[in-house]
Amino acid sequence: MDFRGISLTELLVQKNNPQDVINYFYNRTKRHNDAINAYLYVDESEPIAKKNRVSSLLNAIPLALKDNILTKHQPTTAASQILSNFMSPYAATITHKLTQAGATILGKTNMDAWAHGSSTETSDFGITTNPYNVAFVAGGSSGGSAAAVAAGLVPAAIGTETAGSIRGPASWSGVVGLKPTYGRVSRYGIIAMGSSWDCPGPITQTVEDAALLLEILAGVDRYDATSINAPVERYKKQLEENKKFTIGVADEYFDGVDKDVMKSVDSSLSRLTKLGHRIKKIHLMHPKYAISVYMLLQRSEVSSNLGRYDGIRYGKNRSYFGQEAQRRIMLGSYALSTGYYDKYYKKAQKVRYIIREDFEKVFQDVDIIFAPTMPITATRIGDISSFSFYGEQMDVLAEPAAAAGIPAITIPAGIDHKGLPIGVQFMGPYLGESLILQAAYQLEKEIQFDRLSVMKKYE
């Protein structure tokens, strides 16, 4: 049977033989992964549907994990040569939750090394290409997860986001990407990039699948002091409530946005109005301010987090760090050094707090916020060298929500004149996942994005 293009939720409803589903995606991955380099690791022996999983929630359906998420006794490299031989002695909390729910982990996906990037071009194990056109990037740093879902190599995958690393590649690869509220999903067992920013989340074919996986992933974790102790809502069931929202739209998020992207934004706004939602003009801090905040704070945290990779405890020595990691370590160390801490790091923390307050003020007048996900569609492979601070410029519209720690979701909304996907996003208040999921679900049904045509390229 051909399971290509069938969503995770649809696979569960169909109640297919679990081993047939595993075999299909395993064989499809083996045939087509070389074309896009989405996976860094796939089990050499064909995965088996374990008996204790067959009747469980996810019915042994295969999923993929970004390769900075620990899996017990399997490679976890963070796409860096430093960890090329690293085998974790324990699994991340989200890995454990997924397998307990019955998922089969098909493999580990490519990413920018240490999650440092927005195109998956900094991976030490080769670039992940865009399934729509392999001359273009898939986005990053969760590019492998997004490309695997878009090409139909797996029904759904898990990525991580620090400031756009789920929403960016999901937008450029034409799939759904959900960044939860910071702390809604445990970070335990995830190789840290920016500890006060990192958020794991699902990358899926549909909003319904994202809601289903969030229910499994969310919750307090005794191993993660930053996880939120709040009830996990029934996100999937809430999708059918058909609520009408006041949706904020800020002109500040349209500066420098490509005209094809704006066409999809305008079309989406028209659809939302038709659905009965109220569109309200709002004012937010310009996203450009989040660039400086993210650049300073994230690199400061990188310089601290990467200090453990000294070749003594585990992994290879620091000579194996790539250029991007070296740049971030140097800038972060500079920002934290004596005489510059107050001038750079402390000031950036203050501005981050102002960004959060700005969102809180706006959410007193609107339920959610709508905006483009990325200012342009996917760039060509190699274009990263044409931009100073490429990632910050590409992720400029995603960074404010990440700085504030609020949830956001991107869905595919159209195709540009080059045949590349366009994404639009909803941002919600703290722990407002249910609101953005419901709005995205309603818009998704109106758009009816064709997700099957790209999969047909990989027969």
Per the residue annotation, which of 7, 165, 186, 268 is the catalytic one? 165
Residue bearing tokens 């590409």 = 394
Specify whether the CB–CB gap between 146 and 174 falls below 8 A.
no
**Upstream peptide bond of 270 is cis (omega within 30 degrees of 0):** no
Where residue 175 falls (left for φ over 0; alpha for ψ -120 to 50; beta otherwise) is: beta
Beta-bridge partner residues of 176: 204
Specify whether the CB–CB gap between 249 and 281 falls below 8 A.
yes
CB under 8 A, 24+ apart: contacts of 325-329:
325/80, 325/113, 325/114, 325/116, 328/116, 328/298, 328/299, 328/302, 328/303, 329/299, 329/302, 329/303
Per the residue annotation, which of 80, 141, 268, 434 is the catalytic one? 141
φ, ψ dihedrals at 117, nearest 5°: 155, 175
φ, ψ dihedrals at 315, nearest 5°: 80, 175
Please say if 385 is a catalytic residue: no
Per the residue annotation, which of 66, 108, 179, 236 is the catalytic one? 66
Residue bearing tokens 């990263």 = 384
Question: Of 97, 142, 100, 134, nearest to 117 (Cα)?
Answer: 142
Please say if 179 is a catalytic residue: no
Please say if 66 is a catalytic residue: yes
Which residues participate in catalysis according to the annotation? 66, 141, 165
